[in-house]
Structure 1
Amino acid sequence: MKHPHEDPVFRKITDLVPQEFTKALAEAGTGLWLWDIKADQLDLSQGMIHLTGMKELRSGHRMDVLHGLMHPEDIETIQATTRRLFEGGKRYETLCRMRHHSGHYAWANTYGSLVTDDNGEPQYMIGIVRVRDELTRAKRDLRHAEDMAKLGTWSVDIATDELVWSQGVYKILGFEPLSFQPALDYAQKLRAKEDRAAIEGLINEAVKEKYPFEYRTRVPHTSGEEVHIKVNGDVEIGVNGEPVSYFGTVQDITSDVRRDEQIRHSQKLETIGKLTGGIAHDFNNLLAVILASLELVKDDVEDSEVTELIETAIQATQRGVELTASMLSFARRANLAPQSLDLNSVVQKIRNWIVRTLPQNISIETSLQDGLWTISADPGSTENALLNLIVNARDSMPEGGQLTIATFNINIDDDFVSQRNEKVTPGRYVVLTIRDTGEGMPADVLKEIYEPFFTTKAPGEGSGLGLSMVQGFMLQSDGTVQVFSEPGIGTTFELYFKALSTGNDK
């Protein structure tokens, strides 16, 4: 008598197929399976153990066996195929990946037949599995190639508009492979809006004329970022000489596009820097002559009105000297005189007198770390950089707000460098942060802030070289500058100075 806690009796392959037959199939590279639908139990032949090399493979609850035997991404394919058969489909056939004891997955064809009782009720399914070694190797190599090249394949049936993607396309967009069935209109709407009409025209013309095509566009990623892609396509011609489908590849070229943009930006800055540096040096020499001459003339003039005019000219000339200094800093050709500095002392010095010049509706706070490491930097340029950022913070808070200046020590590692895409060497740094609660900057403005002569201020209120000067000074000092901003929230600048020593590191 059967114990009440034991599994119920279910049909096994040996109940239907002689053992000698299953053994012959195993030697031919074919395995058998039987699914007792009422008991929901799956029985596997010895041929399946032979195919997989997994001696521990056992019969049992259908889903338990499938999860132990098949690739997780292919379970839904098996389920969907089974549903179609139960809904009136005439064939049960799958192409899925099956586990092998070596750790690899082997591609296998599965065929099955549904057996019903006299009332048409499903009783069990019996089927065979045949490993496709050549397909396994080809698909494995193709998948590895897609991953390495950030590539995917696709095809569109012209008669039905059915679109098929490879797993590589799902990955490019940030989706789980085979997580949904893409529709053609969905794929078309993924393209950048301004590119859609031109791309559709290009594809329609290519299909009509039966020639290959190529285009580039941007598509959204599930992370919220945009991905730059390159699509290559061709047209398949049917037996009657007419197009039956078009197909091709899609490749993620985001890193290439960003690298090219960085190269172009660096080349542009280098060209502007050379031009600016040359002009600034010559202009500085002219200003020195003008300033010296004005000072001499001032000493010999007694008329107060003329003296006042000379003073105005001297102030304008000094403003020109400051502007050329900013231009030289931007061009990274300023003559810096680095000294051992305590950033806390610099901040305290600036704070003591800047607080008197800020509007009353702006409060200023400092948070200075004790035991701050010393840095090596040009004192005047360091103060100018801090003043520049304070003035910008002030201008961004016309209705008032809070300005916070802080310092702290930080150890920068390789992960920090790669995550922030910085060209600084890992090590010890001292960070100077200037944070405001002002208007903030949108992303399109944030991309331009270091561009020479770019400014959002009204004409006559800014040269557009302030932030370029700060960036140039930091790079010339083997440091870097980071900025974070959000409209309506405020802006934070972080200046990273390389530490000279650990100082009073605790």
Structure 2
Amino acid sequence: MNEPAMPHSSLILVVDDTPALLKAALRLLGREGYRVTGVGSGHEALDVVQKSRPSVVLLAVALPDMDGFEVLRAIRSLKDLPQPSIIMMSAAQTLSEDQAEVLAQSADGYLARPISNAELLARVGLLVRNHELVAQLRRSEAQMARAQRIAHVGSWELDVVRDELTWSDEVYRIFGRDRETFEPSFNAFMACVVEEDRKDVLTAQERALAGREALNITHRITRPDGTVRWVHELGELESGDDEQALLLTGVVMDITERHENERHMRLQQAALESAANSIAITDHEGRLLWVNPAFATSYGYEEEELTGKRPGDIVKSGVHDTAFYKEMWETILSGRVWFGEIVNKRRDGSLLTEELTITPIRDAEGKVANFIAIKQDITERKRMEMQFLRSQRMESIGTLAGGIAHDLNNLLAPIVMGVDLLAERVNDDALQVVIRNMGQSASRGTSLVRQVLSFARGVEGARVTLFLDQVLREVVTMAKTSFPKNVRIQTESDDDLWPVIGDPTQLNQVILNLSVNARDAMPDGGTVRLLTRNVTIDDQYASMRRDVEPGDYVLL
């Protein structure tokens, strides 16, 4: 007993108006595992073909309603349906010329009755296998077309011998052309290329056809609607045994979006690179992944020196305590933005004050993966702010000093008058010396009050030509009457001391303050030496000091 054959997916339609022959054919094919169905008329056959789409049709020529060749022509006219393989069956041994022509053009075979089972099965088996191969090929082509459409990649083939260019459906889509109206050729392709790119495309094509290198070029094309697209083409040459070029096959990719993205990325990169503000990107542990030139320059480093380092290991100034950095990290690790002022250290050890913003960046899972730091050097701004606050304080002090000086002036006025009266009435020489010192002190006090008032009003003191040795002598005279006996004062001046320009009262006060400071620094006594001499500053010495210019000076 024969084992049943493996089932086939293909459907076979048998069309025969003889019930016995129809039944026998269906039974034979069914035993071989084929799906079968049978009808006895032409109209029924057309209905089954349209609804069930059989792979093979066994079609009898003699039918009650239609001629078998009419049915054949009707099936072939169904353009929107996959065409079955058709075998015509007839008891006639010969065919008319018309029938033979139709058979040759439209049928896949002809069987003259009587038909042996072996011949029928062989013919059907061959057609089924061919049909399955064709179906598989069509599925592969459809999958390829779908893959090309998804990837924006089309395939093309240039037959060098016949000068024929073949495009896949996706190439037509990329170029914006209609398969029905556009005939691809090399000249037609070159007409699609943007004019400025044609020379490069032609050169690349010629080098590929010469076998010097594979085709690999990016260029622009213009669609019929005027839009410009960027494409990338790759191709390889197939040559004959005599190394003559036969076939150039390749692919073309629509890279417009990628090109635009790359252009935007380059633009963004250029903006970041040229930004005046310092910008850095770190991983979630704070290691630097990228810095712009402004960031590296602000600290005195090269960009590559900072990559992979933690800013805290490089620029930490020591000004801020642990709590400061703890609060910063807690903020950014929680996904919040941190903003504030921070003092950092340059490579040379100098400090700079910065306004810093750290923004956390989350990954696809919502976890903090990176940080972007943007900072601005505000050292100069902070210095100006401090200078402004200092000037405000000085203004307040000046207002206060003006009021105090006014009161002191009222207090000193009767003292000055009293000293003059005492000098007239006292005849004791020793007391006269004391009175004279009192008068000089009162006069200096009056001058000091005038200076304070000038300061309060923003007026500079009188600047006159004077000799520092004379100022020293006045200071020494006053100091000797007020300093303790264990503190000695010595002066030393050049004999030809140069004159200087200055305010004598201010100079007197400065030297006296220095002397008092020196006295206070020697509680057990000692010697205060006041020296003046001529010095000349040359260009070499002046070049080492920003606040000094070459010239003649008097050294105190």
Q: Same fold (TM over 0.5)?
A: no
Q: Structure 2 length normalisation: TM-score? A: 0.41
Q: Structure 1 length normalisation: TM-score? A: 0.45
**Greater fraction helix:** 2
Which gives a bigger RCO, structure 1 or 2 (Cα 8 Å, sep 6+)? 1
